[in-house]
Amino acid sequence: MPTTNQIRQQFLDFFAQRGHTVVPSASLIPKDDPTLLFTNAGMNQFKDIFLGAGSRPYVRATNSQKCLRVSGKHNDLEEVGRDTYHHTFFEMLGNWSFGDYYKKEAISWAWELLTDVWKLPKDRLYATVYKTDDEAAQLWAKVTDINPDHILRFAEKDNFWEMGDVGPCGPCSEIHIDLGPDRCDKADVPGHQCHVNGDCSRYIELWNLVFIQYNRLPDGSLVDLPNKHVDTGMGFERIAAVLQGKRSNYDIDSFAALIAAIERATGRKYADPANVVAMRAIADHVRTLTFTIADGALPGNEGRSYVLRRILRRAARFGRTLGQVNPFLYKLVPDLTAVMGDAYPEIRERQAHCIQVIKAEEEGFGRTLDKGIELFEEIASKLQQQGQNIISGSDAFKLYDTFGFPLDLTELMAREHGLTVDLEGFNREMEQQRERARSAGRFTRDDAEVHWHSMNSSDDQECSFVGYDTLKVKSAVLGWGEAPDHYRLITAQTPFYAEMGGQVGDTGFVEFGGKRYRVTGTHRDGSRIVHSIERPANEQMPMPAPQECLLSVDPKRRLAIASHHTATHLLHAALRTVLGGHVNQAGSLVAPDRLRFDFTHFEKVSTEQLRAIEQLVNEQISAAKAVETSETSYDEAVAQGATALFGEKYGDQVRAVRVPDFSHELCGGTHVRNTSQIQYFRILSESSIATGVRRIEAVAGQAAIKVAELERTALAKTAALLKADVEHVPDRVEALLADLAKAARDAKSAAQARAGAQAAELLENVQQINGVNLLVARMDGLSADLLREAVDRFKSSYSPGIVLLGGLVEDKPFFVAGVTKDMTAKVQAGAIVKEAAAITGGGGGGRPDMAQAGGKDAAKLDEALTRGKNLITGKLN
């Protein structure tokens, strides 16, 4: 039985022997593709070729691509673990032809690999083709020995592939296998019949061969592409299960090793049906988390970061069903890298980082789960006060989405409180979220609203960037178009740097036809550099399209950007020097007026460390070192010590930027020629933006000098106000703060003494109603904190007991209610304060045992306390 590593290698070797270049898997974090949250197919990294906006030095490619899907027809996150084939992370085996071979070779090679190399039984294989694709159907009959009766035709739904509403598309041919009648999971359904593309598990798709030959226009019509391409994809886990004779993807060797590790960590057995779903989900999710974190993603509250957080919390919730209350997912990472680290060395190299991130996120989730329980109690209490018994779909979804509560947990807790859950409402909220996820993954072209009046280049002609050496150049015009509020220009060469790698695009001017236009931005569209041109008000677009133009970059702005970019490299090196080699770039912005640098680190950077980092950078600036650049192969640059930023996509030839004896990085951005041009560097702030990720915002050059001047002016004004010399300002401020702190302590002590005296008097007024201790009283002159403390003292001294205290806090009514735990089933604190506060025009709430509320009308405070007391006594009698 072949191992998964052997199967993967056999596929790659097969196509390498047929002239294909073995291309490394792209990162799970798409590079320069805002249409995708995650890489979800092997073709993603070749999208620019299919759109005619890029090229490669090869025309045949093959790889095993890391993919992640969390929405769509076969990728509902909530289904993962509940069947044998749903996954979030998976591998996609593929081979591609870019204008080279076509249907004949794609079909014959697929058949050869499946039947000659992997020895799959031919009589169990089926080929589907698009209903009008006679060519593919004839080739299947001609170049393979498949049973002619196993060549089936289907319509668009199953056998026509499209990248989006417009753009490249074409028919596809799928290869299916019959796993046998015993694999049907619909045998008990009356009238069910098993068939290819049916709804049971007997026939499954192994491989999809896509023939990209058309371009769909906005009106829906199809025109032939100048070059025809092949794009194939085979689910790796699925073919591995077939070749290893397993009934489930989760039984293949790579999953089995991980599930065995889960058994060891939990002391539970996979053979126990009660544990199957949880262990499958955990195994899948640990793969997803490790691979995405290794590729540079991190759990958080937005976009792909939020997807990771949801996945981790889902795994942690399943862990709790296996008895794992404390963090444990992170312990499984070494078991995964042992199985898959040879094929994907990045997860082994980043293992320690992955462990640290996952552990920290698990710890945070434990705290969040506790907050979720508090929210549930508030929801339940509110419903009970209102005499209702159904938790809304939106509330149930908030518990699921924000606090990680699975629906079944919410239902269980609801039953314990005599409540039910609006399942239809929950499902509506869930579907809306799925639609948002689907919309985030839909492909749209960046220049969809641009009308190109002239495109003088062939589809694969590139625009050459010459801006490293000059800021002004005359060039031929390749493309001239218009959008609603600006023009678009593509030239054969340009000195304008296109926005990329965190660096903003250049601005400046373009001249042609005796006119001068402002270039407001520059971006890439595949291999082309597109200039956005400011369109003067009421101007008709100059036609015909210019043949030649003069391009000029704004030199002052370029220098400011270059200063901040080189300063970013110095900052990165300084961080690694001061904090340690674990620091890696996790994002950046390089602009003319500031820089932002995100980096991996799990602690707040101390003031002393920030001072040392800033000093290191300024020492390199003062040293006036020449900034060296070189172009070489990727392997040679790395061998020479250049740092490759994690998650970046590099070609065979790379550009390295070096500050001698300090910094050496691969970078295609613009930089100063000497560090002295930066002038000065200043850190403005340091903060946390996600688990294990810190952010530094800083300024360099004139922007830094301006900040220093503003701070000097502010310090001088402060010294004048304090009537102190500048050097004595810290001492004067420290003394003032000490005086203020002492005054606050004295005031609090006095207030506590008053509160204690009032509480002692009030305790004499405690009533007993049917064996329950009751205190309702007014306590003025106390803070909200002291009122809460008084309620806590009462609850700790009287049980069973109920207390409602009110007073004026900052001249506004304020109420605090407390109910001992043994009485919350009968009376809830939230209901008490809500009733009382309503009299004063306010409101509030809290837990069943402790709640607070505020009001507006101070004159009605006593009336409000009476209303609260009446509510309580009515419940007790």
- Say whether pLDDT at 531 is over 90: yes
Q: Which percentage of the chain shows pLDDT scores above 70?
A: 93
Q: In which residue ranges of the chain is CATH 3.30.980.10 found?
A: 559-710
- Say whether pLDDT at 444 is over 60: no
Q: What is the CA radius of gyration of the chain?
A: 34
pLDDT in tens, 24-69: 999 998 876 666 789 888 888 888 888 777 788 899 999 999 999 8
- Say whether pLDDT at 837 is over 80: yes
* CB 697 within 8 Å of CB 595: yes
Please, which residues have CB within 8 angstroms of residue 211's CB and are 6 or more apart in sequence? Answer: 102, 103, 106, 133, 136, 170, 171, 172, 173, 228, 229, 230
pLDDT in tens, 135-186: 999 999 999 999 999 999 999 999 999 877 788 899 999 999 999 999 998 8
DSSP letter for 643, please: B
- Say whether pLDDT at 811 is over 60: yes
pLDDT in tens, 562-589: 999 999 999 999 999 999 988 888 889 9
- If you average pLDDT over each of 303-307, 395-399, 415-419, which comes out highest? 395-399
- Say whether pLDDT at 753 is over 90: no
Q: In which residue ranges of the chain is CATH 2.40.30.130 found?
A: 451-553
- Say whether pLDDT at 646 is over 90: no
pLDDT in tens, 245-263: 999 999 999 999 999 999 9
* CB 587 within 8 Å of CB 692: no
Q: Which CATH architecture has domain 4-251?
A: 2-Layer Sandwich (3.30)
Query: 27, 55, 50: which is closest to 39 by C-alpha?
Result: 27
- Say whether pLDDT at 742 is over 90: no
Which position has the token pair 């779903």? Answer: 277
Burial zone of 257 (CB within 10 Å; 0-12 exposed, 13-18 middle, 19+ buried): middle
Decide which of 3.40.50.1260, 1.25.40.10, 3.30.980.10, 3.90.1150.10 is the CATH code for 559-710: 3.30.980.10
Specify the 3-state DSSP secondary structure of 176: strand
The CATH number of domain 755-876 is 1.10.472.10: no
Half-sphere exposure for 458 (CA within 13 Å, toward CB)? 7
Q: In which residue ranges of the chain is CATH 3.30.930.10 found?
A: 4-251
Residue type at 439 in one-letter notation: S
Give the integer Cα–Cα distance in Å for 796 and 759: 13
Q: Average of pLDDT values for 419-437?
A: 82
DSSP letter for 473, please: E
Query: 549, 569, 558, 823: which is closest to 675 by C-alpha?
Result: 569
Burial zone of 382 (CB within 10 Å; 0-12 exposed, 13-18 middle, 19+ buried): middle
Q: In which residue ranges of the chain is CATH 3.10.310.40 found?
A: 755-876
Lowest-confidence segment of 205-219, 297-311, 452-466 by average pLDDT? 452-466
Q: Which percentage of the chain shows pLDDT scores above 90?
A: 56
pLDDT in tens, 353-389: 999 999 988 988 887 777 887 888 888 888 876 778 8
What is the model's pLDDT at position 446?
46
Burial zone of 398 (CB within 10 Å; 0-12 exposed, 13-18 middle, 19+ buried): middle
- If you average pLDDT over each of 294-308, 429-443, 692-706, which comes out highest? 692-706
Mean pLDDT of the chain: 88
Confidence of residue 448 (pLDDT cuts 50, 70, 90): very low
Give the integer Cα–Cα distance in Å for 720 and 643: 49
Q: What is the pTM of this model?
A: 0.68
Reported CATH class of domain 451-553? mainly beta
pLDDT in tens, 481-500: 887 778 889 999 999 999 98
Q: What is the DSSP string of 532-592?
A: EEE--TTPPPPSSPPSEEEEEE-HHHHHHHHHHHHHHHHHHHHHHHHH-TT--EEEEEE-S
